[in-house]
A and B are shown apart, each in its own frame.
Chain A
Amino acid sequence: MRMPQPIRGMLLTLSAALVLALTAAPANAAVTVTLSPTAGAVGTRVDVLASDCDMDATGDVENTDTSFKLPKNNNNAQGSFTVTEKMKPGTYTVTVTCGSDTAATKFTVTSGTGAATGGGSTASQATTAVLWTGAAAVLVAAAGLWLLKRRSNVTAA
């Protein structure tokens, strides 16, 4: 949606180049974990990417019984988990173990609603303005209709 269209050919060459570069150089870059999305409510599927993890990895969500697998995908490991009913709102640490390396990041379980970012002091003005505009229109129309009727009586006389 908001992502630009991928250029498949370019991506393929790019990933091929990356794989080549990685096989040539010793794979000692630190593993990093990225989530998408980084927050969500019960039922959200969270994709997990362990960058620079060149093997199958496992993931755990702290203080829950949720664990998941991250199969190797090019030079990364990638998997996903789903937020279960048991996970109460709060922030959870997601840890990925990649061989002897571990890396962690945070996921937030929310109630699923938006943010209460307003008190309403400017909203009232807008609705009253609309209300008064409507009232004025009704008054003008009623007065006009009454005048029309009155004048038709005069001409009929």
Chain B
Amino acid sequence: MSLPPEPAGDASPERSVHRPEPAFRPVAFVALSFVLAGGLGLMLGSVLTLPAIELPRFESPFRDDPFAVADPAGGAWLDRSEPTRVDIDAVDVHAPLTALGLDYEGDFEVPGMWRPHEAGWFEAGPTPGEFGPTVLMGHVDTERSGPAVFYPLKELGEGDRIEVTREDGVVVAYEVTAIESYAKRRLPYEDVFGVEPEPALRLITCGGAFDRRAGDYTENLVVFAAYTGHRDATEKDRDRPLHGRDHFE
């Protein structure tokens, strides 16, 4: 706060020190009111869970025929071989993969909460390098101990490299093309589980707000990645360490 200039030969200095500039008070009053309102808003917003706003989705012209530009037999794609690990050097993810299906309610199965270092792959879909979308899922955090295997996915950027190693020793490389967040009730299966002109990879984890009553996050974060090539695993690939459970404690 700046002090007003001392009027020469006025009253006692103690009183003039305490007198604010005439224009200062209303401005400060308005500014502080805004801060007060903002603070109250933050407090309210952190307590209440607001429903996510859904914008109408415009259908892609390819929806009519997803195979218009995709030719499953037209490339030298790989045969089926199960993935064993995923490596994303950009965000220090080195995780083993387990096979996932559906739970008894028809929801996606996810790795156990007690295995925060583990990610999974959707076994009923294509394997890496096969034509079609390979889908990996992993926890963003656990119930108690903090971040889990796919916590750093939100830091990924377009062009970051993802490598998935298969049981047959082939390393399939992908490049991140998009990162999207969707309300769980409106996960766009056509995009996540649909074909692209080349083999594709999707990484799924949680995002959005945590709904304490449901015990679940409201959104899914989906990383879309496109195939860039594959190679046989080298000695260096095989020596890469995997993050164990103690990495997440």
User: A interface vs B, CB < 8 Å?
Assistant: 1-4, 6, 11, 18, 29, 32, 34-41, 44, 47, 49, 51-52, 76, 78, 88-91, 106-124, 127-128, 130-131, 133-142, 144-145, 148, 151-152, 154-155
Contact = CB atoms under 8 A, between A and B. Distances in A.
A106 to B, nearest CB: 5
Given A38-B126, A117-B205, A130 B42 contact: yes
A31 B56 CA distance: 39
Contacts, number: 251
Contact of B140 (A40, A122, A131): A122
Nearest to A33: B72
Contacts of A118: 139-141, 148, 205-206, 210, 216-217
Interface stretch (B33-41, B82-90, B161-169, B233-241): B33-41
A113 B218 CA distance: 11
A24 B204 CA distance: 45
B18 interface: yes
A85 to B, nearest CB: 13
B102 A114 contact: no
B73 interface: yes
Interface in B144-196: 144-148, 150-151, 177-178, 182-185, 187, 189-196
A76 B71 CA distance: 10
Given A47-B65, A119-B139, A133-B42, A110 B102 contact: yes
Contacts of B32: 141, 144-145, 148
A118 B33 CA distance: 38
B108 to A, nearest CB: 4
Nearest to B180: A2
Contact of B137 (A117, A130, A145): A117
Contacts of A110: 102, 106-108
Contact of B43 (A2, A138, A141, A154): A138
Interface string B41-61: 111111100000000000010
A6 B107 contact: no
Nearest to A29: B73
Contacts of B191: 1-2
Contacts of B216: 116, 118, 120
B141 A134 contact: no
B47 to A, nearest CB: 7
B71 A51 contact: yes
B131 A141 contact: no
Given A115-B204, A151-B19, 8 more contacts: A2-B191, A90-B102, A117-B205, A127-B209, A134-B46, A137-B38, A145-B32, A145-B33
A107 B140 CA distance: 27
A116 B127 CA distance: 22
B231 interface: no
A37 B141 contact: no
Contact of A123 (B20, B113, B139, B210): B210
Given A41-B189, A44-B189, A114 B125 contact: no
Contacts of A37: 133, 189-190, 192-195
Given A4-B197, A118-B217, A89 B141 contact: no
Residue from A111, A128, A134 having most chain B Cβ neighbours under 10 A: A134
Contact of A89 (B106, B147, B195): B106
B25 interface: yes
